[in-house]
Every structure is written in structure tokens, then in C-alpha cells.
Amino acid sequence: MINVTELDKEVVISVEDNGNGISDEMKMRILNRFERGLEDIHGSGLGLYLSRTLIENFGGKLTVEDRIFGDYTQGTMYVITLIPLR
């Protein structure tokens, strides 16, 4: 599910899935270059790193959270916070 909300001067975009989730230990690590998390995950480990880098270069923030607060096994929510240019 994708949600877009405007709060004061920020736009918050959240993308949720209902997969296996990401442990608290891995949430910050997967935003780093070449970090893929689990051994059996396919990919180069660049997608979230590039996304975070681009978002931060435009003054925003990317965070990884539990879809259901406190229970990472219920899926993941990626939250992008942007401050629109006016």
C-alpha cells in the first residue's frame, strides 16, 4: 500500500508490504551500500542505498519501520519525508 500525506511543510510518502519484515538490527544496515540483509536475498544491495542518498541530497529522509508497530514480522514500511521547494 502507498500513502501520501502532507503535514505542515512536509510531504510524507509511505510504502508498506506484508512480507516477512526486517529486524530492528537490520533496519539501519539495509540503507548502506552493498548491504542486502539476509544471505538469500537477491540484488546488489544498491537500491535502498541509492534511494536514501538521492532523498537526502534533496533535503529529505528515508526510514525503515515496522508496518505494525513493534512487530517486524508483519511487514515493513518505508517512509520518505520531503520538504517541497516553493
pLDDT at 1: 93
pLDDT tens, 20-78?
898 988 888 888 876 665 555 666 667 889 999 999 999 999 999 999 999 999 999 99
| Listed residue (47, 38, 44, 45) closest to 19, CA to CA | 38
pLDDT at 44: 62
Pick 6 or 38 by higher pLDDT.
Answer: 6
Reading the block at residue 66, the C-alpha cell is 515496522
pTM, 2 dp = 0.82
pLDDT at 43: 66
The secondary structure of residue 55, as a DSSP letter, is: H
pLDDT at 32: 81
Domains and CATH numbers, the chain: 2-82 (3.30.565.10)
Q: Write b or e for each residue in 73-85: b if 16 or more Cβ atoms lie within 10 A of its Cβ, otherwise e.
A: ebbbbbebbbeee
